[in-house]
Amino acid sequence: MQLSYKDEEMMLADQARRYLQTEYSFERRRTRQADGGHDPKVWRSFAEFGWLGLAFANDYGGIGLGAVSILALAEEMGRALVLEPFLEAVIEAGTLIETGAAPEHAAALIKPIIAGDSIVLLAHTEADARFHPHHVEASATEKGGSIRLSGRKNRIAHAQIADTFIVSARETGGPRDAQGISLFVVPSDRVTIVNPATPLIDGTWASDLVLDGVDIPVSARIGAAGAAAPILEAARHRAILGMLGMSVGSMTALVEQTGQYLKTREQFGQPLSEFQILRHKLADMAIWTERARSAAWLAANALAGVSNTQHTRRSIAVAKAECAVAGRMVGQTAVQLHGGIGTTEELEVGHYFRSLESMGVRLGDRTYHLAEIAGKLGTT
Task: Give the domain-ending residue among 206, 222, 238.
Answer: 222
Domain match, 215 and 281 both: no
Q: Which residues pair with 169 in a beta bridge?
A: 182
Q: Which residues pair with 192 in a beta bridge?
A: 210
pLDDT of residue 378: 47
Q: How many CA atoms lie within 13 A of 43 on its CB side?
A: 22
Residue 73 falls inside a structural domain: yes
Task: Give the domain-ending residue among 222, 238, 255.
Answer: 222
- Yes or no: say if 244 and 320 are a contact pair by the CB < 8 Å rule: yes
pLDDT of residue 334: 98
pLDDT of residue 198: 87
Q: How many CA atoms lie within 13 A of 148 on its CB side?
A: 6
pLDDT, tens only, 198-254: 889 999 999 999 999 999 999 999 999 999 999 999 999 999 999 999 999 999 999
CATH of the domain at 166: 2.40.110.10
Domain match, 144 and 176 both: yes
- Yes or no: say if 209 and 156 are a contact pair by the CB < 8 Å rule: yes
Query: What pTM does this model have?
Result: 0.95
Residue 213 falls inside a structural domain: yes
Domain match, 88 and 45 both: yes
Domain match, 241 and 372 both: yes
Residue 143 falls inside a structural domain: yes
Percent over 70 (pLDDT), the chain: 98
Residue 350 falls inside a structural domain: yes
pLDDT of residue 46: 98
Task: Give the domain-ending residue among 118, 134, 155.
Answer: 118
- Is 80 exceeded by the pLDDT of residue 117? yes
- Yes or no: say if 147 and 217 are a contact pair by the CB < 8 Å rule: yes
Residue 310: count of CB within 10 angstroms of its CB: 10
Domain match, 200 and 252 both: no
Domain match, 233 and 156 both: no
d(CA 231, CA 222): 10
Amino acid at 238: R
Residue 1 falls inside a structural domain: no
Residue 28 falls inside a structural domain: yes
d(CA 360, CA 89): 20
Per-residue HEC secondary structure of the chain comes to: CCCCCCHHHHHHHHHHHHHHHHHCCHHHHHHHHHCCCCCHHHHHHHHHHCHHHCCCCHHHCCCCCCHHHHHHHHHHHHHCCCCCCHHHHHHHHHHHHHHHCCHHHHHHHHHHHHHCCCCEEEECCCCCCCCCCCCCCCEEEEECCEEEEEEEEEEEECHHHCCEEEEEEECCCCCCCCCCEEEEEEEHHHCEECCCCEECCCCCEEEEEEEEEEEEEHHHEECCCCECHHHHHHHHHHHHHHHHHHHHHHHHHHHHHHHHHHHHCEECCEEHHHCHHHHHHHHHHHHHHHHHHHHHHHHHHHHHCCCCHHHHHHHHHHHHHHHHHHHHHHHHHHHHHHHHHHHCCCCHHHHHHHHHHHHHHCCCCHHHHHHHHHHHCCCC
Domain match, 209 and 234 both: no
pLDDT of residue 197: 84
Q: Count of domains in the chain?
A: 3
Residue 207 falls inside a structural domain: yes
| Contacts of residue 116, Cβ cutoff 8 Å, sequence gap at least 6 | 43, 44, 46, 47, 48, 52
CATH of the domain at 64: 1.10.540.10
Domain match, 129 and 199 both: yes
For residue 277, the enclosing domain spans 229-376
Domain match, 94 and 139 both: no
CATH of the domain at 351: 1.20.140.10
Name the nearest CA neighbour of 220 among 149, 270, 153.
Answer: 149
pLDDT, tens only, 293-327: 999 999 999 999 766 688 999 999 999 999 999 99
